[in-house]
Amino acid sequence: MLKEFREFAMKGNVVDLAIGVIIGAAFGKIVDGLVNDIIMPIIGIAGKADFTNYFIPLSSAVNATNLADARKQGGVLAYGDFITILINFIIIALALFFVVKGINSLKKPAPAAPAAPPPPSDEVVLLTQIRDSLARR
């Protein structure tokens, strides 16, 4: 019986994990869109910079001004892409932190009021009556 329960519990965990991976991939695409289409242009306006085209050429054959053409010409160190990915990671980490924090706060049971002591059992009541009647004699 215990073995069957463990197998059932394991299947549930695998399904939960698969759902988590799928949702995580979709969430990653949403965050990529948010960073690339909303946050980075705002940062670009404020700092007059577009991080996607920041790179260091690793060979003298690279003379392009944008990253896509530079990659075609030779090796480049694309640190602008790294900055964008780092911003994506920070946003995902913060979002997951707040989600886990919210879930954990929902899991905490409310402190229960102290329960009244249960009434004495019939045997205790009978023994108390016997004791009292013997004490009266």
* Gap between the Cα atoms of 56 and 79, Å rounded: 8
Whether residue 98 is predicted with pLDDT greater than 80 in this model: the reply is yes
The stretch 11-18 carries a mean pLDDT of 72
Query: How far is 70 from 24, CA to CA, in rounded Å?
Result: 32
Mean of the per-residue pLDDT values of the chain: 79
Domain assignment present for 79 = yes
User: How many domains, in total, are found in the chain?
Assistant: 1
In this predicted structure, what is the pLDDT of residue 132?
92
Q: pLDDT at residue 71 above 60?
A: yes
Domain span at residue 45? 2-109
CATH classification of the domain holding 63: 1.10.1200.120
Instruction: Give pLDDT tens digits for 15-24.
Output: 777 788 888 8
Average pLDDT of the residues in 124-134: 91
69 is a domain residue: yes
Q: 62: which residues sit within 8 A by CB, 6+ positions away? A: 70, 73, 74, 75, 76
Segment 69-78 shows an average pLDDT of 87
What's the pLDDT at 48? Answer: 62
Task: Report yes or no on 86 lying in a domain.
Answer: yes
Using DSSP's 3-state secondary structure scheme, residue 61 falls into coil
Query: Given this model, what pLDDT does residue 131 score?
Result: 92
| Residue 124 in domain | no
In a domain, 13, yes or no: yes
pTM: 0.51
In a domain, 67, yes or no: yes
- 125 in a domain, yes or no? no
Residue-wise pLDDT for 34-60, tens only, equals 877 877 777 777 666 567 778 888 888
Tell whether 26 is covered by a domain: yes
